[in-house]
Structure 1
Amino acid sequence: MTIQDYATYIAGLPRVLAGAAALFRDAEGRVLLVEPNYREGWALPGGTVESDQGETPRQGARRETVEEIGLDVELGALLAVDWVPGPGRPPLVAYVYDGGVLGEEQLKSIRLQEEELLSWRLVAREDIPEHLPNALGRRVLAALDVLAAGTGTVELEDGRRVGRAG
């Protein structure tokens, strides 16, 4: 196969988007959410993985966390991987990493990226579906379940657990 044939082959392969986020909690177990200014609703700190520049999902989640809320935290375990189909776009593979429990000083030091974010808040588990509807809310709840149970990474499709029951 020539270099040109290989380039043509690669160009014809299916595309997938990759996003990565960090799940931060406070001492009470509330989840840190951010409010983007470019769409309705709330999200975890995170964003698109810059894979064309060689960035990995873990690196992307950390970079986005620094950019969005000004915290440079080494991320813990991969909690969830979610395959999210979408109309009008390629599927998204969303990675959620454990950001850990933030202390009072870290919470006070949060500085929002004003170009993209309006605000942040801490949300109790029972209020997650109200702030994060659909796949994102299910993904965050599944990640919280992994933390509570001390189990490994959960595989999701559109925010719903797949594979073995549990």
Structure 2
Amino acid sequence: MTTSDYAAYIASLPRILAGAAVLCRDGEGRVLLVEPNYRKGWALPGGTVESDLGETPRQAARRETLEEIGLDIELGTLLAVDWVAGEGRPPIAAYVYDGGVLSEAQFAAIRLQEEELDSWQLVSRDRIPEYLLGSLGHRVLEALDVLERGTGTVELENGMPPA
């Protein structure tokens, strides 16, 4: 196979997008959510994996958290991987990492990336579905379950365990 044949083969393969986020909590178990200004709803700190630049999901989650809220957090375990189908776009592989329990000093040090975010707040588990719509809300609840059970990573499809 020539180099141009290989390049054509690679170009013909299906595409997926990848995103990575960090699940941070306070001492009461509330989840840190951010409010994007470029779309409706809330999210975890995180964003797109820049795979074309060789970035891994873990690196993306840490970079995006630093960019979005100004905190450089050492990430814990991978809590969830979610395959999210979409209309008008390729599927997204969404990774959620444990950002741990943040201290009061860390919360006080949060500085929002004003180009992308309007605000942040801590949200209790029972209010997650009010803030995080669709598969994202399910994904975060599943990730919280992983933390509570102390089990390994959960595999999800559109926010739910596979049938």
Aligned to 1:39: 39
CA distance in 2, matches of 1:90, 1:17: 6
1:23 is aligned to: 23
Partner of 2:118: 118
State the SS of the aligned residue for 2:5: helix
Query: Number of residues paired by the alignment?
Result: 163
Identity of aligned pairs, percent? 75
Give the CA deviation at 1:133.
Answer: 1.2
Whole-angstrom CA distance in 1 between matches of 2:123 and 2:74: 22
In the alignment, what sits opposite 1:161?
161
The 5 Å alignment of 1:49-128 reads 49-128=49-128
User: Helix, strand or coil for the counterpart of 1:160?
Assistant: coil
Please state whether the residue corresponding to 1:64 is helix, strand or coil.
Answer: helix
Deviations 1:122-166 (A, max 9, x none): 000000000001100000000000000000000000000126xxx
SS at match of 1:161: coil
Cα separation, 1, equivalents of 2:162 and 2:91:
17
C-alpha distance in 2 between matches for 1:48 and 1:73 = 17
Partner of 2:12: 12
Inter-partner Cα distance in structure 2 for 1:148 and 1:156: 17
1:136 aligns to what SS in structure 2?
Answer: helix
Structure 1 spans left out of the alignment, 5+ residues: none
SS of the residue corresponding to residue 39 of structure 2 reads coil
TM-score scaled by structure 2? 0.99
Q: What secondary structure does 2:13 align onto? A: coil
Cα deviation for residue 33 of structure 1 reads: 0.2
Q: Distance in 2 between matches of 1:39 and 1:133?
A: 12
TM norm structure 1: 0.97
